[in-house]
Chains A and B, each alone.
Chain A
């Protein structure tokens, strides 16, 4: 034992003979030349199976590289509880209920981040419930939906990080109007408040107004829009969906 010990101690010495080299290096085997076994049958079969799986997957979800399809037809979201949203058919009840049901359907795309109950995710996605951005004027909300937000944003006294809110301008005017109405009614504590209602016409006006906007909004840009600014458009009757009273004049406020 002591013999070996001595041999190893002078590892540091330059140009020593082989026996001086430390044991770890000495006992090391050579790196054998790589084997040239041809690829056998079973890996080829496994590879073919994997390729079929991958190609089938892309065939099913890939939509032939179409840029306008965001949700594959094969993607089935979790079923919703009965009685909320959905297409019931028959007597559809008051206009506002259908409008909100439509909004709830659209909200399914928002719920991934803002959560089904509008509570957001602490530290990541701001809540809609109790958010000053939601129950204020409609112009800010319209602007946000159409162009998205980037950078930090203070919501209900909490600052949220930089997970950006994407623009949703690919949705139709009607879908945006419905989802804003839904969010204001449900999470803005404006249920049965006519001011919660946003119409297709209003979103059309917002699209025109912000058409020159490039990129997403930052917090300071949004704050430049007055907190109580409403989108121009006629107020509608929640029962019928038809413009009420003064029509165009009511929009000017």
Chain B
């Protein structure tokens, strides 16, 4: 490591080390338990795909039905893995950005246990048949308060941290983090109260769509972007290209995102303007996507000679997540159009799009953050760069396979569904050929994560590499 102007002062370094030490256990708790849920989620992804592909399998066992396995897969992926890992990143990032040591690590670890308890109960409830067919809110409503309490006990501490920040301009990541922290209680409470057996039946389905879109755009995306806005300039050693552009990305996201979601039911039994306004908001969100993409691109572009994105796992995962964010934004805008949605609306494609948001966009950015954070809080380095490379490439192949096969499979399935005189089972059969792609994809992702779990476990027990120097991804073969 050569000395340059970006090198921190010794006071900075000591402060950082103290902050990292203060958040060590809560962050590690969230990361490791999230990783455990990810293992469950990826396996359930493959098994539920298998069940969909071979409907006769385990026919007599209700607990092994697709109708239970798939919601469990999503609960484990969204609440077990994604949100929990996101909470870990939030705590570390907020402590670092505001330069505050965490004083409530015990409360947060307790909160983490409450959250995990809630997720476990939710999984079991769905498994034993107490689920509801509301995607991402499949668990019975009485479990929601457990998750709610776990969440609040964790994120409440971000507010005093933010208030005790150093004077000066609020960094863009702080805005995203604080926003995400307060938006989740709002969208979660609203949806849990409105989705269910009482109240308007149609609006219940609509609210469910709104919840999914908002969990993505107002929680997953802001946290992913907060992490990217911190890590990209840190690693590249270059300032974020433009603060005004970042602010456009932030404000357009938070103003438009709450309008999205109803376009999931475009052409459904709503007054036409409701899905239309959601569709228009999803299209307008491209402003945010574009502003963010340009900003990231211009930040790393000048760095081409160092080829940091080739070697740094963090930068690679984060930039890939940002790329997938653009793809998700474009596909989301496309699916707001009638001509696209009247074909793909109720097909496998929707599942592919949700998977892209949770795994392709958010999880990849979070992997980037984890590869950055864990060495700092544990004091040892990732043991193997090759394993990280495997993790990256097989995750990439996996998410690529999901999106591609679900898009093509969606077209094939919907083509049959939309023919008036075609038998329904034909559309199932045609779609199922592509569901094989989903099984393969989740197996690839499961495989890619094996190395990640192994390394994370080593790091957790302090068995990482003790020598100096970052663990880089060896790409010299290319």
Contact B132 A162 (CB under 8 A): yes
- How far apart are B197's CB and chain A's nearest CB, in angstroms? 5
The verdict on B144 contacting chain A, using a C-beta distance below 8 Å, is: no
Instruction: Say which residue of A12, A55, A66, A162 sits within 8 Å of B271 (CB atoms).
Output: A66
Query: Which stretch, B13-21, B84-92, B103-111, B211-219, touches the partner chain A?
Result: B13-21
Q: How far is the CA of A224 from the CA of B426 in the complex (A)?
A: 37
A55 near B280 (CB under 8 angstroms)?
yes
> Is A75 within 8 A of B338, CB to CB?
yes
- Produce 1/0 per residue, A153-184, CB < 8 A to B: 00000000111111110000000000000000
Q: Are B197 and A150 in contact (CB under 8 A)?
A: yes
Q: Is B113 an interface residue (CB 8 A)?
A: no
Q: Would you call B243 an interface residue if the criterion is a C-beta within 8 Å of the partner chain's C-beta atoms?
A: yes
Binds A, one of B117-125, B281-289, B393-401: B281-289
Identify A34's interface contact among B239, B269, B336, B422, CB under 8 A: B239
Q: How far is the CA of A158 from the CA of B30 in the complex (A)?
A: 41
Do A163 and B290 have beta carbons less than 8 Å apart?
no
Q: Which of B13, B20, B466 contacts A9 (CB 8 A)?
A: B466
Stretch touching chain B among A42-50, A192-200, A202-210: A42-50
Q: Which residues of A contact B67 (CB under 8 A)?
A: 123, 161
What secondary structure prevails in chain A residues at the interface with B? loop
CA distance A29 to B13 in the complex (A): 10
Looking at B35-43, B375-383, B434-442, the stretch in contact with chain A turns out to be B375-383
From B133, B204, B421, A124 is in contact (CB under 8 Å) with B133
Assess whether B241 is in contact with A81, with CB atoms less than 8 Å apart.
no
Cβ B379 vs Cβ A22 within 8 A:
yes
Bound CA–CA A80/B346 (angstroms): 19
- Tell me if A24 counts as interface (CB < 8 A to partner B): yes
Q: Nearest Cβ distance between residue B415 and chain A, in whole angstroms?
A: 10
Q: Does A223 contact B (CB under 8 A)?
A: no
Interchain CB contact under 8 A, B424 and A31: no
- How many pairs of residues, A versus B, come closer than 8 Å at their CB atoms? 241
The complex places the Cα of A31 from the Cα of B228 at a distance, in Å, of 12
A57 & B276 in contact (Cβ 8 Å cutoff): yes
Instruction: Quote the shortest CB–CB distance from B259 to chain A (angstroms).
Output: 10
Query: Which residue in chain B gives the minimum CB-CB distance to A113?
Result: B346
Q: Are B421 and A50 in contact (CB under 8 A)?
A: no
A65 to chain B minimum Cβ distance, whole angstroms, is 5
Question: Are the C-beta atoms of A163 and B133 separated by less than 8 Å?
Answer: yes
Chain A: minimal CB distance from B314 (Å): 11
Contact status of A46 and B338, CB under 8 A, knowing A8-B379, A54-B283, A81-B421: no
Given A35-B242, A150-B201, the answer on whether A29 and B234 have CB atoms closer than 8 Å is yes
Q: Does B251 contact A (CB under 8 A)?
A: no
Total interface residues on A, CB under 8 Å, equals 83
**For A5, what are the chain B residues with a Cβ–Cβ distance below 8 Å?**
466-468
Q: Given that A75-B338, A123-B65 are contacting pairs, would A148 and B243 also be in contact in the complex, using a CB cutoff of 8 Å? A: no
The answer, yes or no, to whether B319 is at the interface (CB within 8 Å) is: no
User: In the assembly, what is the distance between CA of A84 and CA of B419, in Å?
Assistant: 12
CB contacts under 8 Å to B, within A34-69, are 34-39, 43, 46-47, 50-51, 53-55, 57-58, 61-69
Q: Are B201 and A39 in contact (CB under 8 A)?
A: no
Chain B 452-471 interface 0/1 with A at a Cβ cutoff of 8 Å (1 = within): 00000000000000111110
Interface presence of A32 (CB below 8 A): yes
User: Which of A87-95, A114-122, A133-141 lies at the interface?
Assistant: A114-122
A123–B338 contact, CB under 8 A? Answer: no
Nearest-neighbour CB distance to chain A for B322, whole angstroms, equals: 16
| Other contacts beyond A22-B17, A24-B376: 17, CB < 8 A | A21-B13, A28-B376, A36-B244, A43-B248, A43-B290, A46-B290, A47-B248, A50-B290, A53-B283, A58-B279, A62-B280, A78-B419, A81-B419, A116-B422, A123-B67, A162-B197, A165-B201
Q: Kindly list the 3 A-B residue pairs having the minimum CB-CB distance in the complex, ordered from nearest.
A: A164-B201, A161-B133, A11-B379
12 contacts between A and B (CB under 8 A): A18-B14, A24-B379, A31-B234, A43-B294, A47-B248, A55-B280, A75-B342, A78-B420, A84-B420, A162-B197, A165-B201, A166-B269
B interface residue numbers (CB < 8 A to A): 1, 6-8, 10, 12-14, 16-17, 20, 55, 65-67, 132-134, 169, 171-172, 197, 201-202, 204-205, 230, 233-235, 237-246, 248, 267-273, 275-277, 279-281, 283-284, 286-287, 290-291, 294, 298, 336-338, 342, 346, 375-376, 379-381, 417-425, 466-470
